[in-house]
């Protein structure tokens, strides 16, 4: 069965979204937190296979200057089939017209995003709520 796409959040089971992020694995994100961030995101891409959520992503955007693509998750059963590529392509397309589209990649996945035209930034900086964990996962050079 082909993947069905939506950005409609009306019938989303947020516990299912949370389970997808754990399985992907993108961390243990609470259902309520995911609902909040997806609702506050201008663009969303949710992929279903036979009514089962198998992929998701979102972009925070201001409508003109900056769109930040984040939280790209693909269920392990669907990884390697182009679904992650399709989610990113949808979000990049929805973000077209912004002066810059930004994301930060899971360490080791940078080349995947480079294939979309993303380039490494020399001045990107972040404040994490757990700097030691971010450092251990490869997101920060030093703490």
- 130 occurs within a structural domain: no
Helix (H, G, I), strand (E, B) or coil at 3: coil
Instruction: Say what the pTM is.
Output: 0.91
The pLDDT of residue 95 is above 80: yes
- CB–CB of 109/115 below 8 Å? no
- 70 occurs within a structural domain: yes
- 83 occurs within a structural domain: yes
Please report, in angstroms and rounded to a whole number, the separation of the first and last CA atoms in the chain: 47
What integer pLDDT is reported at residue 104 of this predicted model? 83
Cβ neighbours around 12 below 10 Å, total: 19
- 143 occurs within a structural domain: no
Query: What's 76's domain CATH number?
Result: 3.40.630.30
- 30 occurs within a structural domain: yes
- 57 occurs within a structural domain: yes
Q: How many domains does the chain divide into? A: 1
> 92 or 140, which is more confident?
92
Q: Which domain holds residue 19?
A: 4-103
Helix (H, G, I), strand (E, B) or coil at 72: strand
């Amino acid at each position: 069965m082909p993947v069905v796409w939506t950005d409609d959040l009306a019938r989303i089971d947020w516990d299912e979204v949370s389970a997808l992020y754990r399985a992907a694995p993108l961390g243990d994100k609470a259902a309520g937190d995911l609902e909040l961030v997806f609702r506050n995101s201008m663009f969303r891409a949710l992929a279903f296979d036979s009514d089962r959520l198998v992929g998701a992503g979102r972009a925070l955007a201001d409508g003109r200057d900056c769109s930040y693509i984040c939280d790209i998750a693909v269920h392990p059963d669907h990884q390697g089939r182009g679904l992650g590529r399709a989610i990113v392509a949808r979000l990049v397309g929805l973000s077209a017209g912004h002066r810059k589209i930004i994301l930060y990649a899971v360490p080791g996945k940078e080349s995947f995003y480079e294939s979309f035209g993303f380039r490494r930034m020399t001045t990107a900086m972040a404040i994490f709520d757990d700097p030691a964990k971010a450092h251990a996962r490869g997101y920060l050079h030093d703490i």
